[in-house]
Amino acid sequence: MSNSEENPVNWRPDARAAMEKIRPAIERVERIRVMAIKKKAKARRMAIGVLVIGLLVALVVLASGSGNAPAALVVAVVSGIAGVIVYFVIHGGATGAYRDIYKREIFESAVREAVPGMEYSPNSTIPQYSFESGGLFKSRIDRYQGEDCFSGKIGATEVIFSELHVEREDTSTDSKGNKTTDWVTVFKGIYLIADFHKEFRCRVMIEPDMAEANFGWIGRKMQGLSGNLVRLESPEFEKAFKVTADDPLAARYLLTPDMQERFLALRGEWSPNLRAVLTDSCLHVAIPKTEDWFEPNIAAPAGDIPMLHGFLLRLMIVLGITETLDLNTRLWTKE
């Protein structure tokens, strides 16, 4: 058995070896990339042409009479908007098509080669009901979308994660009765669900300790008013996280001193705003992140080794959460 099969989170992915095994797919995708670049150049020329024609028409309108300045301005603005639309329709379509084919033909195959047992679905996501079952975000959800879903087994641990963008629609009315609608981000980043290594039936929330971070001992006293607050042994953990649970004894059983240290390490690796929940014998982890981690750059060749290596390395970083939290250590047999 190869090292990658024994412990896939402790090795560096070999992008070059993965590329060699999917060379025919790379050549096919590269031809599509070249076509997409040509369409991008065509889109630029067409957009410039629309803009130039519009400006010439505007100049003619303006020269035909002193009172035609507003009409000339309208023509110029409309031509500018039309040029932008033409560019993004042609360029965006070509780029999107290349992105999809790269993910399906190259990255999906490379994931299977590099991490046996891990499946990649570029257009799938964590199901909304799974996200909501975690209860990490209390907000209403009006738009739920995501991509780049990975699922499989890392050692003894079943894992699924994807990038998510979850939003709420807020409507406000001003004093004149005018309504304004805004889309508010509830969560954007990586959402991971993993099989936990202990059987339990309670719910344990692990959230950023904003009260203590912002208000010190006063915030700590305010937290004490919560009936389901759980105090733990580690002062560092207490400063970083607020833990609530419907069963405090079970929470302490799950969040051992070692696990508290591991959550602090995970927070240090990712974000102070990381949050998690233990529920239904599973761990949910929400990691805020604004950038897309698995998007190919159309300017790079389809066979670009550094780009694929970067994708695989990011995958290993996320899967490394199982190592940081020691989820593969099975001291108890689950039912």
Please, what are the averages of pLDDT over each run of 10 residues along the chain (335 residues)? 45 71 86 82 69 69 65 65 60 75 90 87 95 94 96 92 96 83 95 90 91 51 64 91 92 92 94 95 94 90 90 90 86 54
pLDDT at 4: 41
CB atoms within 10 A of CB 28: 14
Q: What is the domain partition of the chain in residue ranges?
A: 3-199+281-324
Q: Is the whole-model pTM more than 0.85?
A: no
Assess contact for 68 and 58: CB atoms under 8 A. no
Structural tokens at position 235? 């002062």
CA atoms lying within 13 Å on the CB side of residue 281: 11
CA 7, 12, 17, 22 torsion-angle sign: positive
Give the DSSP letter of residue 17: H
E runs forming strands in 174-264: 179-195, 203-208, 229-230, 241-245
Task: Give the pairing of strands 282-288 and 275-279.
Answer: antiparallel
pLDDT at 115: 85
Q: How many Å apart are CA 82 and CA 53, to the nearest integer?
A: 11
CA 53, 55, 61, 63 torsion-angle sign: negative
Q: How many Å apart are CA 18 and CA 197, to the nearest integer?
A: 32
